[in-house]
Amino acid sequence: MKIVGIIAEYNPFHNGHQYHIDQALQKTGADAAVVLMSGDFVQRGAPAIAPKHLRAKAALLGGASLILELPVLFSCGSAELFARGAVSIFNSLGCISYLCFGSECGDIKKLNRLARILSEEPEVYRQLLQDELRKGRPFPQARQTALSVYTKDPSLAEILSSPNNTLGIEYLKALRYFKSPIQPFAIPRKGSGYNDTDLCETFSSATAIRNRILNPSLPEDAFSSVAGQLPPASSDLLRKNYQSSLPVTQDDFSLLLKYRLLCESASSLTDYLDVSKDLANRIINQRNDFATWSSFCDLLKTRELTYTRISRALLHILLGIEKDTFRHEPPFCFAEDSGNISGKAKKERSSTSALYARVLGFQKKDTQILKEIKEYATIPLITKLADVRDLTSATQVLLNLDIFASDLYESIITEKFSTPFTNEHQKQLQII
């Protein structure tokens, strides 16, 4: 059975995502698509607009066979951490043949060339990068300039200016890092750019769609203007759950975040992932002017500190994700047995990482995929939290972070929409 892996956020699931799944299956000739999807928090350092189980259902109705959750440590991490965590999980499943990602460039050879340079970091390139950083340039700009000089090909370096290209290169770097046999495919992106805020005819960005849902001219018009941008099943799901479990925004978490910031000092803030000494001092100095999460990000940002980087750091503070959370056993360690693994995988494997594959939903007709994962995976497959046993301490920490993050997200839904609280252990798999 040939399986293509897709890494996604589906925030929300739109026409471009439907196109991606269709193209991934067609271009690779795969029998099924397994999606590793961000949970309730996403890579730009914000909550997803809709709960993960609802987004998972939309993807299943859109043709995905199985949806796994990308742990929150990776889903709200830097592009490198996001990609490395996701690829590590796919690589550990032992049955993923292909990795298919969207890209503005769509040229896998060019993307691979850049990935090789950035992975190997030749001395000449490294020196050029340091020279640019010493000039005070932001890292992305410094890296692009250094690559332009090193390759003597500005058009090649220009590829890094597009976000999907950048993330695709990180996937390729991760495949190299793990010496993975998974074959990568790049699908050219259609329609609007990743950060475009204006709707286009059929392939608008998730950013534009979210903005229109969050800022309708009239409450009853929240979905009328984006109906053509979403597959019918996704549109119906969002419409039916509007004002009962969505939309959720980062500003819904403002009071919780302010409380966490009031509990911290400049010194303690630097314990959190992605919080530098400079950012910690800025947070403390501006803390009295905190109004909302989004306005605080605007207040803190500088040329070197982007809105997204700040928002991601604030999310780590809110969720309690520290730099040394995995000091003794990092997520990509190679420890001995981690439990919850049996069969051929247990006999053949020589190492494992502090990871797991948690199922959010699947299609009934594709249960063979679950059987293959159970047979070949070198990490635990989790379908029900109550049945989890004998995880390593690091794996349990990673899972506990997911549970806490989702319970926090659910608490906001409960408060905002006056609905009953459903904890993470009570939530049902999406099976269609």
Annotated binding residue at 164? yes
CB 214 within 8 A of CB 249: yes
CA dihedral 128, 130, 135, 137 (to 10 degrees): 90
Annotated binding residue at 12? yes
Give me the pLDDT at residue 286, please.
98
What contacts 180, CB < 8 A, 6 or more positions away?
Answer: 87, 90, 91, 174
- Roughly how many angstroms between the first and final C-alpha of the chain, as a whole number? 21
Using CB atoms within 10 Å of the CB of residue 256, give its burial: 0 to 12 exposed, 13 to 18 middle, 19+ buried. Answer: middle
Give me the pLDDT at residue 325, please.
82
Annotated binding residue at 16? yes
Q: Is 66 helix (H, G, I), strand (E, B) or coil?
A: strand
The Cα–Cα gap between 427 and 38 comes to 17
Annotated binding residue at 102? yes
Give me the pLDDT at residue 285, please.
98
Annotated binding residue at 14? yes
**How many helices (H) and strands (E) in the chain?**
19, 10
Annotated binding residue at 189? yes
Per DSSP, what are the bridge partners of residue 430? 361
Annotated binding residue at 17? yes
Count the neighbouring beta carbons within 10 Å of the beta carbon of residue 105. Answer: 21
Which residue stretches of 64-220 are H helix? 72-75, 79-93, 108-120, 123-134, 139-151, 154-158, 163-177, 206-214
Annotated binding residue at 8? yes
Annotated binding residue at 112? no
Task: List domains and CATH numbers for the chain.
Answer: 1-104+168-248+331-432 (3.40.50.620), 250-330 (no CATH)
Q: How far is CA 128 from the centre of its chain?
A: 30
List the pLDDT tens digit at each of the 432 positions of the chain.
Answer: 999 999 999 999 999 999 999 999 999 999 999 999 999 999 999 999 999 999 999 999 999 999 999 999 999 999 999 999 999 999 999 999 999 999 999 999 999 999 999 999 999 999 999 999 999 888 899 999 999 999 999 999 999 999 999 999 999 999 999 999 999 999 998 876 656 667 877 889 999 999 999 987 666 677 888 989 999 999 999 999 999 999 999 999 999 999 999 999 999 999 999 999 999 999 999 999 999 999 999 999 998 899 999 999 999 999 999 998 876 566 664 333 333 333 444 333 333 466 899 999 999 999 999 999 999 999 999 999 998 988 988 899 999 999 999 999 999 999 999 999 999 999 999 999
What contacts 284, CB < 8 A, 6 or more positions away?
Answer: 264, 265, 266, 269
What beta strand segments (E) does 306-366 contain?
A: 357-362
Question: If we measure between CA atoms, which residue out of 168, 176, 178 comes closest to residue 116?
Answer: 176
